[in-house]
Amino acid sequence: MNRRTLLCGLAALPVAGCATSTARKTPGPGTAKPGDRLAAVADVPVGGGVLVDTPGGGQLLLTRPEAGTVKAFNPACPHQGTTVNPPTAGEITCPTHKSGFDPATGAVLTGPAPGGLVEVAVEVVRTDVVLA
């Protein structure tokens, strides 16, 4: 039994981080359908990105490598499934083992990830990013 299990199971007072949420998001689109709104284009910074929750219980990483382009990726690192961070300084990084990915293509730049992030098709409709 680890310390967290012991504290969460035996503490008489609530302990931060012990609660489990049934609203946990799964990397990828979940059960979202084509046409479901993911975010406003304005919410995705040029040269950066954001993690967004999908209407279908999933989570996607939206990136905007340049003003006219929005990309979406399953944010699960191919190495061990950790959710990657939105891009900073031109690179998406996995917080666990520091694999790096290209925000325009999802291609792996530095390992240990064996491959790139899985792209998810999206399109811009008026001012929104929607699942394609």
Tens digit of pLDDT for each residue in 68-108?
A: 899 999 999 999 999 999 999 999 999 999 999 999 999 99
Contacts of 84 (CB under 8 A, 6+ apart): 61, 75, 76, 77, 92, 93, 94, 95, 99, 101, 117
Q: How far apart are CA 102 and CA 123, in angstroms?
A: 19
User: What's residue 11's pLDDT?
Assistant: 38
How do beta strands 100-101 and 49-53 pair?
unpaired
Residue 47, both tokens: 């040269």
Instruction: Please state which of the four CATH numbers 3.40.50.970, 2.60.40.420, 2.40.160.10, 2.102.10.10 is assigned to the domain occupying 23-131.
Output: 2.102.10.10
Task: Determine the average pLDDT of the residues in 46-61.
Answer: 94
Indicate the pLDDT class of residue 16, thresholds 50, 70 and 90. very low
The ranges assigned to domains in the chain are 23-131
pTM > 0.85: no
- Determine which helix (DSSP H) or strand (DSSP E) holds 55, and give its type and residue range: none
Single-letter residue type at 120: V
